[in-house]
């Protein structure tokens, strides 16, 4: 039904970057002089300031809440506990007490 995709495009992306750099060099663009120019430095500091401002004002609090209140206690810690228990005594997956229990195991496909 779903095919596992092994080709993620990393090699293609590297080749595109190399070709783009070669094309820029062919047309005489010097990336070092561009990145050291005052205009680029000013634009870069502006973009950096905007990204930091958006992160601190809008994204940090929800991300911290999701990370500390949802991901760690509900996903990460139970997964580590179950993997450790499976490694130590060879038992199956132990669901947390708050998980709904099935009356019978689900059918194997």
Examine residue 51 and state whether it is found in any structural domain, yes or no: yes
Examine residue 60 and state whether it is found in any structural domain, yes or no: yes
Examine residue 107 and state whether it is found in any structural domain, yes or no: no
Structural domain harbouring 72? 10-89
Examine residue 50 and state whether it is found in any structural domain, yes or no: yes
In contact, 81 and 94? CB cutoff 8 Å: yes
pTM value is 0.52
For 50-102, write each residue's pLDDT tens digit.
999 999 999 999 999 999 999 999 999 988 888 888 777 766 555 556 555 55
Examine residue 80 and state whether it is found in any structural domain, yes or no: yes
The count of domains in the chain is 1
């Amino acid at each position: 039904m779903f095919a596992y995709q092994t080709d993620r495009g990393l090699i293609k992306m590297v080749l595109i970057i190399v070709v783009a750099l070669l094309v820029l060099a062919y047309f005489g663009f010097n990336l070092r002089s561009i990145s050291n120019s005052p205009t680029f430095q000013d634009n870069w500091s502006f973009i950096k300031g905007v990204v930091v401002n958006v992160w601190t004002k809008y994204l940090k609090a929800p991300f911290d809440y999701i990370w500390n209140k949802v991901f760690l206690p509900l996903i990460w810690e139970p997964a580590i506990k179950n993997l450790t228990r499976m490694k130590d005594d060879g038992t199956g997956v132990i669901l947390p007490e708050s998980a709904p229990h099935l009356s019978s195991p689900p059918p194997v496909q």
